Amino acid sequence: MEYILNYTREELNSLLKEGGFPAYRGKQIYQWLYTKHVDDINEMTNLPVRLKQWIMDNYICSFPKVIREQVSKIDGTAKFLLELVDEQTIETVLMFHGGKAVKQRKTLCISSQVGCPIGCVFCATGKMGLKRNLSAGEIVGQILAVSKAHGKIDNIVYMGMGEPLLNYKSVLKSIKIITDEVGLNFSSRKITISTCGLVPEIKKLSEEKIPLTLAISLHAANNELRNVLVPINKKYPLEDLLQAVKYFINKTNRKVTFEYILVKDLNDSISHAKELAVLLKGLLCNVNIIPANQVAGTAMKRPNGRVIANFAQMLQSKGIETVVRSEKGADIDAACGQLKASTNGND
């Protein structure tokens, strides 16, 4: 049986037509799923009994199941362990930004794969290897499962488990579904895709001309160091990566984010900052510094606050827009690079 969340509205309409139902029923089903966050067919009260039965006979109609929810005592960040239909599990993280509760914005960090094959040395997901790609419906389903309990989400970032551009087709389809005005109605400007730097896919994405935010996990400004930290750099070195980023900017006119993990004594010196400033000079971009989060099995340490501030200041003094990303959910292992979907707590 097919997963109903895998269809765009147009596809659902034509399936219904083939099944002998009027196409407008597609819109109704879409609204139940995407605006009312209802996945129980029996609650879809405006559908005729025959149609409900047809859906039940032919399609799996359920959101990923929340099997664990951990809430940070520090900042309210919530980490969800979600179970998919084949019992694989993934993690999704809900973060809150901004001051007073009424003004708080919610960002959901979603996964695109179960595990990841890239193997960056600092990343817990990378240590799992790749189990499988997620389908478009499983990607979108994370938003629905969380929204059902926690209300409307403001921003979506593809920064959870997996490398989104290795699952290009499903990720693109998920964006189509997320931005459908009859459903979740997200502006693509509220969507960020983070990649370790797959050059052909960045070029392909540029051609789609979707005004989303592209984030590049850079972490080093020279090939020697980046080869060690992000092994895909051996295949797509910095020169090629930067060229692909320029192509994206040309096609979309969107500012690109460069993520830079700051690791103690490895890439955190003032000369590293200067090297980074030279590499990015003149590009329509900003830098997100991510002080390294501790992952078991790696010797990577976070530099102290002064080193982090000096690094950021050096970039700013060279005219590079820079922010230091604040750590979220430190007490529940929900921060960047810590997701690994274990069912037995945080170990």
Q: Which residues are catalytic?
A: 91, 336
82 makes contact, choosing from ligand SF4, ligand SAH, none, with CB < 5 to 8 Å by partner type, with none
User: What is the footprint of ligand SAH within residues 162-191 (CB under 6 A)?
Assistant: 163
Residue of minimal Cβ distance to ligand SF4:
126
Give yes or no for residue 119 binding ligand SF4 (CB under 6 A).
Answer: yes
119 makes contact, choosing from ligand SAH, ligand SF4, none, with CB < 5 to 8 Å by partner type, with ligand SF4
- The residue from 175, 196, 245, 277 that contacts ligand SAH (CB under 6 A) is 196
Cα 58 versus chain centre, distance: 30
Contacts of 225 (CB under 8 A, 6+ apart): 266, 267
Residue 47, number of CB atoms within 10 A of its CB: 19
Which of 44/196 has CB closer to ligand SF4?
Answer: 196
**Between the CA atoms of 284, 274, 267 and 72, what dihedral angle is there, to the nearest 10 degrees?**
-50
- Residue 90's alpha-carbon distances to 176, 215, 321, in angstroms, are 22, 21, 33
Give yes or no for residue 163 binding ligand SF4 (CB under 6 A).
Answer: yes
Give yes or no for residue 194 binding ligand SAH (CB under 6 A).
Answer: yes
- Unique residue bearing structure tokens 């094959």: 117
Give yes or no for residue 257 binding ligand SAH (CB under 6 A).
Answer: no
Residue of minimal Cβ distance to ligand SAH:
337
Select the span of 30-38, 49-57, 121-129, 141-149 touching ligand SF4 (CB under 6 A). Answer: 121-129
The span from the CA of 117 to the CA of 127, in Å, is 8
Give yes or no for residue 333 binding ligand SF4 (CB under 6 A).
Answer: no
- Residue 334's alpha-carbon distances to 191, 200, 229, 299, 327, in angstroms, are 20, 30, 21, 19, 9
Which of 9/226 has CB closer to ligand SF4?
Answer: 226
289 makes contact, choosing from ligand SF4, ligand SAH, none, with CB < 5 to 8 Å by partner type, with none
Residue 92, number of CB atoms within 10 A of its CB: 26
Tokens of 314: 């050096």
What track of x and - describes contact with ligand SF4 for positions 259 through 298 (by CB under 6 A)? ----------------------------------------
- Residue 61's alpha-carbon distances to 250, 287, 309, in angstroms, are 41, 41, 49
Select the span of 81-89, 119-127, 199-207, 264-272 touching ligand SAH (CB under 6 A). Answer: 119-127
Q: How far is the CB of 337 from ligand SF4 (least distance, A)?
A: 6
- Residue 3's alpha-carbon distances to 32, 55, 59, in angstroms, are 15, 10, 6
User: What is the footprint of ligand SF4 within residues 183-202 (CB under 6 A)?
Assistant: 196
- Interface with ligand SAH: number of residues (CB under 6 A): 18
- The residue from 4, 109, 123, 210 that contacts ligand SF4 (CB under 6 A) is 123
The residues of the shown chain that bind ligand SAH, judged by CB under 6 A, are: 116, 120, 122-123, 159, 163, 194-196, 217, 259, 261, 290, 292-293, 295, 336-337
